Amino acid sequence: MAATRLPGKPLADIEGIPMIVRVLRQAQAAGIGPVAVAAGDAEIVEAVRAAGGQAILTDPDLPSGSDRIVAALQALDPAGEHDVVINLQGDIPFLAPSVVEATARLLADQPSCDISTVMVAESDVAERSNPDIPKVVASMQPDGRSARALYFTRSVLYGDAPVWLHHGVYGYRREALMRFTAAPPSPLELRERLEQLRALELGMSIWAAVIDEAPISVDNPADLERARAFARKNNE
């Protein structure tokens, strides 16, 4: 709720529906498994429950979203019945359910994969020099729809091949999630300000599924207006 560029962001109204509730509904539509919202603010929990969803109130001082997942898991599934967790950010209100499915499918199809995520080809060459957009250096598979991630960076990438842009949807094997959150921030993670580099430095394998269109991510008032216009245009 304390987002500096858009205070109260999780509950921002998008055509009559709080943004976090829209994310909840997209996750439910994927049909992968039980869905819950992990939040550090009581207002978010109340809004989710009012919409019929499940929410867990976690310590607001947790250092990262992955730590919040672990806290929610301890409350929701202490016996470890579920061995995979998909993490969606609360500011992607129109994420396609197929993206959630693709993230889960990578873990099923690639036994060596510890963490799955998604990437999309750049739509503008200017994006490759934008430090706010993380890029994936990836080894593409023959199917052209999946790749093993070699590195993530905010730096400029050169060459004629497409530059792949990373989006923060993650699938974790539970064991990998616990190992990841138990480790301190790594040198590359601190240098690039990219949490996923900790996993690579721990020797974990990250795979990325190719998605065809970047989801709307709401980070500031202009993004919020774009999301509202999208909702109106698509009768969402």
Domain of 170, CATH number, reads 3.90.550.10
Span 57-78, pLDDT tens digits: 999 999 889 999 999 999 999 9
Q: Measured between alpha carbons, how far is 68 from 73 in angstroms, rounded to an integer? A: 9
Quick check: is 227 in a domain? Answer: no
Does residue 236 surpass a pLDDT of 80?
no
Give residue-wise pLDDT tens across range 10-34.
Answer: 999 999 999 999 999 999 999 999 9
Average pLDDT on 141-148 reads 95
Q: For residue range 175-188, list pLDDT tens digits in order.
A: 999 999 999 999 99
Count of structural domains, the chain = 1
Q: Average pLDDT, whole number, for the chain?
A: 95
Say what angle helices 19-30 and 97-109 make with each other, to 10 degrees: 50
Min mean pLDDT across 16-25, 121-130, 143-152, 162-171 is at 121-130
Tell me, yes or no, whether 171 lies in a domain. Answer: yes
Rounded to two decimals, the pTM is: 0.94
65, 67, 70, 74: CA torsion to nearest 10:
-120
User: Distance between CA 96 and CA 231 in Å, rounded?
Assistant: 14
- Confirm whether 125 is domain-assigned: yes
Region 194-198: mean pLDDT is 97
Q: Looking at residue 2, what is its pLDDT?
A: 87
Write down the pLDDT at residue 160: 82
Residue 222 lies in a domain: no
Please indicate, yes or no, if residue 79 is contained in any of the structural domains: no
Q: Tell the residue number behind the tokens 């394998």, with chain if given.
A: 205
Structural domain containing residue 185:
96-214
What pLDDT, on a 0 to 100 scale, did the predictor assign at position 164?
A: 96
Residue 49 has pLDDT above 90, yes or no: yes
Could you say which DSSP state residue 15 is in? T
CA distances from 67 to 54, 178, 179 (A): 18, 9, 11
